[in-house]
Structure 1
Amino acid sequence: MTEIAQSLEISRTSAENAMTSLGEIGLVSDAAVANGRGAGRPARRFSFERRSGFVIGVDIGVASVRVVVADLTGQVVRYESFDGVADSRGGAEKLVVVIDDVRSTLTASTIPTSRVRAIGVSLPGIVDSSGRVTTSVVIPEWSGVDIGAQLASVFGCRVSVDNGVRLAAVAEHHLGVAQLVDDLLYLSVGNRIAMGLILDGRPRRGIHNAAGDIGRLAFPGLVTETGQLTWRTGEDAEKVFSLARAGDSSAVSELGSFIDQLARGIATLVLTVDPAMIVIGGGLSDAHEQLLDPLRQALDTHIGLPFSVPLVKARLGAEAASHGALVFAFRRHAADIYGLESMPVPPITPLRVDATLLPVRTQDDSTFSG
């Protein structure tokens, strides 16, 4: 107690009152004290109750649903990946699948629902600031639905919802490859092309919550009206890249054209925003020598100015959006999590094995999914 009072430069009485308040909301508890020999008031020590509450991040997609659970210090204590909502009929059934996945994760973690203090949700689509899905071409049944309110009524806590690619950008900025920059362009290149933008350290939503929905406009000829990538020489990207590696001239030509058009679109975005870094995520980011290296060269050619913007592979891979949803929940609901409005987001610590990020893959994942 004395150390707390001294470090905060407040009276011991004020420190005692504050610690009592924190104890009442379950954030701190009395810690064991070794018997002292000196005279005077006995020492009183405290410990932070990191597992008195939990925060959840959920990434919802047609191919997978990923759930990540963290304690109050930001330490991830559970990560689960489930089949996506593609096979579920109707919007209500899809929502039930997500609810069951979150409940299963809590059960496996032996965490009661009552200890969940906030949930962040990532999903494909344009989402307004209240959590209502404005439109989603990937999960059209949820267009116009307040997914946040639906989940809040089930789990009895605050829920915030945002676009998945935007939250993937948040994750790369908070705990990924872009931690040292505050202006970055995150581009997800997988089955679709989508963008997330971080400016001055904050995700850019835009007045209509549509910032980043640029696939059809910035990359004409590469995508369909729904933003889906199209290929001529193979049924999907994996096949085209495989044929190109084998020397198929048609596939090599298509891949070269794809990279050039992709670089042209990125150059337009770079010269509009002037970011400090470009982060490439999505399934195609794994194709280093076939995509990232020639993309860097083509980008420098299209920008044509005496500077080069670093273009790097995303660090968090398929886990980015779920961890971004976790950061989002900590940021939006500090008062519900800690009882304090101004608490910063803690440093999120993912599950790790041998000091590397634990890769969690499911059967629906592949190198070229996205």
Structure 2
Amino acid sequence: MFRNSTLPIAVRAALHVRDRGSATVTEIAQTLELSRTSVENAMGTLSDIGLIADAPVTSGRGAGRPARRFSFEGRSGFVVGVDIGVASVRVVIADLAGHVVRHESFNGVALSRDAADKLAVVIDDIRSTLTASAIPTSRVRAVGVSLPGIVDDAGRVTTSVVIPEWSGVDIGAQLSAAFDCPVSVDNGVRLAAVAEHHLGVAQLVDDMVYLSVGNRIAMGLILGGRARRGIHNAAGDIGRLAFPGLVTETGQLTWHSGASGEEVFSRARAGDAAAAEELAGFIDQLARGIATLVLTVDPAMVVIGGGLSAAHEQFLDPLRRALSTHIDLPFAVPLVGARLGAEAASHGALVFAFRRHAAEIYRLDDVPVPPITPLPADNAAVAETH
């Protein structure tokens, strides 16, 4: 990336200090195979827009003044990712280097009265997270939003069976007005796929199917390293068609031997014959639908996310075996559990914002998305439930 000659010199220099750490002009020039004059001019541009600053200088062994070092000013601005759902709202904040500085979880919008009230709850959650992080709203450069539903390229919700009050509402414009910055909005499962591709289990492949199996079944598709939206922004809305008999008209999974999928898995583990039979049938039908998707797209990997992926090998091992019986070809497509779990969509929204609004975030065109560094899962400050 650093030696990519198609990028402007200022961008290449910015990436060097953003992703590798502080450096001198000479070090940057040698790494990028550029002249010192070109790098010095680029560093002047980056200093003018506030992306770099002088780094602390360590004393060298030789005589004379140590060379001037530059560091990336990651805390000069922040990007917010939000995952909106009926059960929870998750807010994640990262600095300009992609380091997550705070991640909080709030109650969802299920109990809010109407469309405006639901939006107000989300705005309050974002503001609360910023306040807890001592970050003023003026330092937010962009916001990415994940929500359940079909969303057009401009951020308007075309339809949502999960939050029907938002159907036809331009959520992106509403949030942009509230925070005075660009806002990008997309489907939550699609953004979960983006996260798994950018910082999860699928970082090394550019063609993948992400299947969320929880209360519903939905798909996110990455082709050629990019999320596939489709001409009508409906790519991935396949639950009712690819998995007939498993879901209702709204895409909701139906269970008979328990109130939820988690309960059916629990009963099957305890030896309940009816639950074990239902689970086996469910896995076989799910595998048949996945086989259809695999033979249509021919991905390098299938990633299983959503609530039921937490059952791990009780779910994934039999699903792999069932899938192999439905694909009679001389190869096997890896089927793996998602790495990011419930945090995938919020981090995908973060990646989406960095990608969509790079010019506004960095005050510089063509800057690639940074490596996103999540907070440690066992860190007490990662998430606070309110």
TM, length-normalised to structure 2: 0.88
Q: Find the partner of 1:199 among 223, 236, 251.
A: 223
Count of aligned residue pairs for this structure pair? 361
Output aligned runs, 1:90-109, within 5 Å: 90-109=114-133
Correspondence 1:302 to 2:332 = no
Q: Find the partner of 2:141 among 106, 111, 117.
A: 117
3-state SS, counterpart of residue 305 of structure 1: coil
Output aligned runs, 1:222-237, within 5 Å: 222-237=246-261
Q: Deviations over 1:236-285 (max 9, x none)?
A: 11222222222222212111111111011101001000111110000101
Partner in structure 2 of residue 366 of structure 1: none
Q: Aligned letter for 2:296?
A: T
| Alpha-carbon separation, structure 2, partners of 1:358 and 1:218 | 40
| Alpha-carbon separation, structure 1, partners of 2:36 and 2:321 | 62
Q: Deviations over 1:317-340 (max 9, x none)?
A: 000000001111111111111122
Q: Aligned letter for 2:374?
A: P
Structure 2 segments unaligned to the other structure (5+ residues): 1-23
Q: Aligned letter for 1:68?
A: V
Partner in structure 2 of residue 159 of structure 1: 183
Q: Find the partner of 2:104 among 80, 85, 100.
A: 80
| Alpha-carbon separation, structure 2, partners of 1:264 and 1:358 | 42
| Alpha-carbon separation, structure 1, partners of 2:239 and 2:373 | 32
User: How has the CA–CA distance of structure 1 residues 275 and 357 changed in structure 2, closer, same or farther, with 3 Å as cutoff?
Assistant: farther
Q: Deviations over 1:305-363 (max 9, x none)?
A: 22111111000000000000111111111111112221111111100167x99975859
Output aligned runs, 1:1-370, within 5 Å: 2-3=25-26, 4-5=28-29, 7-8=31-32, 12-33=36-57, 43-352=67-376, 360=383
Q: Aligned letter for 1:179?
A: Q
1:18 Cα offset (Å): 2.7
| Alpha-carbon separation, structure 2, partners of 1:306 and 1:91 | 51
Q: Deviations over 1:125-171 (max 9, x none)?
A: 00011111110000011111111111111111111000000000000
Q: Aligned letter for 1:301?
A: T
| Alpha-carbon separation, structure 2, partners of 1:162 and 1:135 | 12
Partner in structure 1 of residue 10 of structure 2: none
User: How has the CA–CA distance of structure 1 residues 199 and 357 changed in structure 2, closer, same or farther, with 3 Å as cutoff?
Assistant: farther
User: How has the CA–CA distance of structure 1 residues 318 and 219 changed in structure 2, closer, same or farther, with 3 Å as cutoff?
Assistant: same
Q: Aligned letter for 1:270?
A: V
User: How has the CA–CA distance of structure 1 residues 153 and 361 changed in structure 2, closer, same or farther, with 3 Å as cutoff?
Assistant: closer
CA contact (8 A) 1:352 1:358 kept: no
Q: Deviations over 1:207-261 (max 9, x none)?
A: 0000000000000110011100011111211222222222222212111111111
Q: Deviations over 1:53-91 (max 9, x none)?
A: 111110000000001111111111100000000010101
3-state SS, counterpart of residue 125 of structure 2: helix
| Alpha-carbon separation, structure 2, partners of 1:38 and 1:105 | 49
1:291 Cα offset (Å): 1.4
3-state SS, counterpart of residue 325 of structure 2: helix
| Alpha-carbon separation, structure 2, partners of 1:349 and 1:358 | 15
Q: Deviations over 1:176-201 (max 9, x none)?
A: 01111111100000000000000111
User: How has the CA–CA distance of structure 1 residues 353 and 142 changed in structure 2, closer, same or farther, with 3 Å as cutoff?
Assistant: closer
User: How has the CA–CA distance of structure 1 residues 92 and 12 changed in structure 2, closer, same or farther, with 3 Å as cutoff?
Assistant: same
User: How has the CA–CA distance of structure 1 residues 340 and 38 changed in structure 2, closer, same or farther, with 3 Å as cutoff?
Assistant: same
- Identical aligned pairs, as a percentage? 78
CA contact (8 A) 1:55 1:69 kept: yes
3-state SS, counterpart of residue 51 of structure 1: helix
Q: Aligned letter for 1:30?
A: D
User: How has the CA–CA distance of structure 1 residues 7 and 287 changed in structure 2, closer, same or farther, with 3 Å as cutoff?
Assistant: closer
TM, length-normalised to structure 1: 0.92
CA contact (8 A) 2:79 2:353 kept: yes
Measured on the aligned residues, the alpha-carbon RMSD in Å equals 2.2
